[in-house]
Structure 1
Amino acid sequence: MNFFEKIPKETKVSPISKELYLKGDKDVAVLILHGYTGSPHDMYYIGREINKAGFTIYIPRLSGHGTNSIDFLNSSWKDWLRKSYESYLNLKSYYEKTYVLGLSMGGVLATILAEKFEIEKVVLAAPALLTVDWRIKLTPFMKFFIKRIPKKNVQTFDDHNLDFLAKNYWNYDWPSKAADLYKLERLAVKNLGDIKSKLFVILSEKDDAVPLSVKNLIETHVHSNYDFLILKESGHVVVNDIEKETVAKETINWLLN
């Protein structure tokens, strides 16, 4: 049975997970990539703010995200990287310049694209080049035995759409998909030294998923120009948390200069 036959007939994209494309008045586009188990809705705020500054923005939905858990289980790191790659090439064919911004796994994908295509400017928001959860290193073996592990702290939301995403993604650990994330992490870290892009890296001291030691990793291995924004209060989704206005403002200023 192929992956397509496994997908439920009722599969559809959640209303808050729709892709977003907004045209700006500059001949510059920004590809914006969401994270692992996330969806475009995490990136709507910063995307719209960047668009207000004149940039065209495109927020794609990575395969298996924003639909349901079966669809997610039947996607892989190759699908996520391919979607990012195709999205970048399509934007690049229309605009004089195309930059990339990625959150978490999206930051990992952005790192891989930066090394491959020598993109002029790349924003890495809480890039999952390292992760706090040490178990990710075991997932290449765990994936053969365990599909999903219920989390102890189940999330519930009053918003029906958020609650649907929580039940299908956030309330479980997914060893096989975490193994895919780990594969992307290793690909990205391996080639950090080859990056020629200018980087703007956003990290938070209260991020419980990506450690602040990513800063040291970049300082040690990246030889191109880079700037850091270190936040004090935000959680992992730094582009849409308590300091999101600061993140958007500083990101836009960096993109414009």
Structure 2
Amino acid sequence: MKDQARQPVRRCAQPIELVHTDASSRAVVCLHGFTGYPGELALPAKRLYEAGFDVFVPRYPGHGTNGKDFLRSRGADWIGEAKRQIESIQSKYQSISLVGHSMGGAIAVLMASLYPINRMVLYAPALVLPTLPVKTVKCLSFVIKRKRKEWHSDPSYPFFDDRDEDDDAFLGSEYWSWIYPKQIAELSDIAKQAVAALESITSNILVFTGQEDTVIPQAAGTLVLDRAKGQNNWIHLPKATHLIPYDRDEATREEAMERTVLWISG
């Protein structure tokens, strides 16, 4: 992808690095979702740091900037950034674990098939995409770059990152108010790759799904249990939406965070 460094990155989308002054032997890399940004994983990053881990949350190319920048990005760029982050810290830590949300969950699975990953937590991983009209989207990708859709900010979801007041409105106008056919097709390909990779994964996985999630179904949880080879666990949260790391129901959010820290801590 060209010109990534020239694009202004919103404050909430800046990569997060939480590193202890006294060296830690354990690191966690957190991977955000499609059209998302690092700040969406600020809460689990903070909790894991408080538990003694060094934590890194990279930003994928094309994310957290603007729609034109996103149009230039591809799945290989997003996967490549996850690889770059892991390889940049691999020699410094005895163990690396992963946390992934939505598409970040699928990318985490791919990373675990390539690198020695200790443990994983997947929030609503994009392994099953029943609401995605893949054939239609792929056809549209040859005709249009993006198509407008309705989006409204929802103040019931809290923020835990450092941000400017207009970050949500700006990113909403650039990303969530549009359908990006080519990029959605790339997401679909990543999901397929991740499902194929599951059978090679021996890392222990904790997967969360939500009853109120309109994007990822419970089948994502059963898929992990059925195919991955580690000692895995699936938790279905009755009040969770797709946005588990910063969900609107505090009790649900806190349960997910507590279980995340316990699982990654082993």
TM, length-normalised to structure 1:
0.92
Please tell me the residue identity of whatever aligns with 2:259: E
Residue among 223, 226, 234 paired with 2:229: 223
**Who is 2:260 aligned against?**
251
**Who is 2:113 aligned against?**
115
CA distance in 2, matches of 1:129, 1:218: 9
Contact 1:29 1:57 in 2 (8 A): yes
By how many angstroms is 1:161 displaced? 1.0
**Does the alignment pair 1:18 with 2:14?**
yes
**Does the alignment pair 1:205 with 2:201?**
no
Please tell me the residue identity of whatever aligns with 2:256: V
Aligned residue runs from structure 1 range 1-257, under 5 A: 4=2, 11-24=7-20, 26-151=24-149, 153-156=150-153, 159-241=165-247, 242=249, 243-257=252-266
Q: Greater shift after overlay, 22-31 or 64-73?
A: 22-31
**Identity across aligned pairs (percent)?**
28
Q: Greater shift after overlay, 73-82 or 23-32?
A: 23-32
Cα distance change on mapping 1:157 and 1:76 into 2, 3 Å = same
CA distance in 2, matches of 1:254, 1:157: 30
Please tell me the residue identity of whatever aligns with 1:200: L
Secondary structure of the 1:134 match is: coil
CA distance in 2, matches of 1:207, 1:60: 25
Contact 2:203 2:229 in 1 (8 A): no
Please tell me the residue identity of whatever aligns with 1:244: R
CA distance in 1, matches of 2:5, 2:225: 45
Contact 2:213 2:241 in 1 (8 A): yes
CA distance in 2, matches of 1:157, 1:252: 27
Secondary structure of the 1:107 match is: helix
Contact 1:149 1:173 in 2 (8 A): yes
Show structure 2 runs of 5+ residues with no match. Answer: 156-164
Q: Greater shift after overlay, 111-120 or 196-205?
A: 111-120
Contact 2:121 2:263 in 1 (8 A): no
CA distance in 2, matches of 1:188, 1:173: 23
By how many angstroms is 1:91 displaced? 1.8
Secondary structure of the 2:12 match is: coil
Please tell me the residue identity of whatever aligns with 1:155: H
Q: CA RMSD in A?
A: 1.8
Please tell me the residue identity of whatever aligns with 1:171: S
CA distance in 1, matches of 2:39, 2:223: 29
Q: Greater shift after overlay, 49-58 or 158-167?
A: 158-167
CA distance in 2, matches of 1:59, 1:33: 6
Please tell me the residue identity of whatever aligns with 1:127: P
Please tell me the residue identity of whatever aligns with 2:128: L
- Cα deviation, 1:18-53, whole Å, max 9, x if unaligned, reads 111001353100000000000011011111111011
Cα distance change on mapping 1:8 and 1:63 into 2, 3 Å = closer
- Cα deviation, 1:53-110, whole Å, max 9, x if unaligned, reads 1100001111100000000000000000000001011121211111111100000100
Secondary structure of the 1:191 match is: helix
Q: Greater shift after overlay, 78-87 or 88-97?
A: 88-97
Secondary structure of the 1:140 match is: helix
Contact 1:118 1:196 in 2 (8 A): no
**Who is 2:162 aligned against?**
none
By how many angstroms is 1:220 displaced? 2.4
